[in-house]
Amino acid sequence: MSDEAGFEEIIGVSVLENFKLDSGKVLPLVEQRYAMYGKPDADGSNVVLVCHALTGSHHLAGPDVPGLPEGWLGPLVGPGRAFDTSRLCIMCFNNLCSPYGSTSPMSVNPDTGGQWGMSFPVVTPRDVARAQRLALRSIGIERIALVVGGSFGGMISLEHALSFPELVDNCCVIAAPARLYPQAIAYNEVQRQSILSDPDWKGGDYYPGPGPVKGLANARMLAMITYRSEQSFAGRWMRGMSDGELPSHEWGAKFKVETYLEHHGHELVSRFDANCYLYTTRAMDLHDVAAGRGSLEEAFSLLKGKGLLAVGISSDILFPSWQVMETARYAGKAGARSLYEEIESDNGHDSFLIDFDQMDEILRFFIREENI
């Protein structure tokens, strides 16, 4: 399809067989749905791979598509934009375990004929990156000029760069750490417990029903608190009531921040799957680039001579900027062309999806400096 910016979105699916995971378990069949914007050069020198965040999708830009979130990177993709489709080929895969077309707990297990549910094996960000790499190869792309991602997508981006350093020239990590710290794991666990304690979860065997609607909505409400900052909540609502009245002693009265969280909880339920949420948050917990590589120092030595941009956010409470700085510091010590930039915003973790003016400037500079 074509969008208003004058470029085409090409949707495709790559199929992998007998895909072995970090755990040693094997997925007999893996589908990887992807979107492509622009044409790849034969040597991959103009290919930019974008990795999406937890509940995002491969649909980066263009008009709305039924069943998918709106194009979440639209202001940065298109002719003349930071990701200039007049000369670059921009690609994005729907992550393994996500419900938007790639293999997930919602998919049919070819060995049983039923949906996987909680019998689906646990995956890691390294698994997600490796599946995408094999899918790239299946469509004729080996080398890529840049891999970039925010939040969970940033973790996958790091794994692309570290797992395939001979095939990835540059890496950009936005609002993501080199390893998940305990507080973020704690946030994820409370979200999962909200789903697991919902009677409608039924041990994950709720298909074809709607499943744990309340549990998933409550999980999203907690997540939204971590995606924003105290400054953004206070600046937008402070103690305002949804009906415009003064705070009330009646249970039916709601603060605006309460209705905001409820809205986002209901919105996610309408487009995401609870089991997929369990698996993707667990994959995030397992993120540690040093795993199997000895240490952070040894892991980042794989980036020697590569370009690495780490972008933190001043008001991020989920992955504080010091955690993102850590990536830049280790990469620099290991001999990478390491650069740290920071988005100055009160919008919290979600700033990389809101403050596109700053993202545009930061990405343009890095792309220009690395001659991408």
Q: Is 52 a catalytic residue?
A: no
The predicted structure's pLDDT at residue 6: 58
SS (H, E, C) 24-57: CCEEEEEEEEEEEECCCCCCCCCEEEEECCCCCC
The predicted structure's pLDDT at residue 249: 74
Options 316, 345, 350, 351, the catalytic residue? 316
Q: Is 151 a catalytic residue?
A: yes
Determine contact, residues 92/58, Cβ cutoff 8 Å. yes
The predicted structure's pLDDT at residue 251: 80
pTM above 0.85, yes or no: yes
pLDDT per residue as tens, the chain (372 positions): 344 455 899 999 999 999 999 999 999 999 999 999 999 999 999 999 999 999 999 999 988 888 899 999 999 999 999 999 999 999 999 999 999 999 999 999 999 999 999 999 999 999 999 999 999 999 999 999 999 999 999 999 999 999 999 999 999 999 999 999 999 999 999 999 999 999 999 999 999 999 999 999 999 999 999 999 999 999 999 999 887 777 677 787 899 999 999 999 999 999 999 999 999 999 999 999 999 999 999 999 999 999 999 999 999 999 999 999 999 999 999 999 999 999 999 999 999 999 999 999 999 999 999 999
Q: For residues 67 and 83, what is the distance between their CA atoms, to the nearest angstrom?
A: 25
The predicted structure's pLDDT at residue 2: 40
Determine contact, residues 348/316, Cβ cutoff 8 Å. yes
* Interaxial angle between packed helices 256-269 and 213-227, expressed in degrees from 0 to 180 and rounded to the nearest 10: 120
Options 98, 349, 350, 351, the catalytic residue? 349
Range list of H helices, 228-355: 230-236, 256-269, 274-285, 296-300, 321-333
Q: Which domains, ranges and CATH numbers included, belong to the chain? A: 9-180+288-369 (3.40.50.1820), 184-281 (1.10.1740.110)
Largest CA distance in the chain: 66
Q: For residues 289 and 301, what is the distance between their CA atoms, to the nearest angstrom?
A: 11
Dihedral angle sign, alpha carbons of residues 92, 93, 98, 99? positive
Options 14, 57, 98, 151, the catalytic residue? 151
| C-alpha triplet 256, 244, 353: angle, nearest 5° | 35
Q: What SS3 class is residue 256?
A: helix
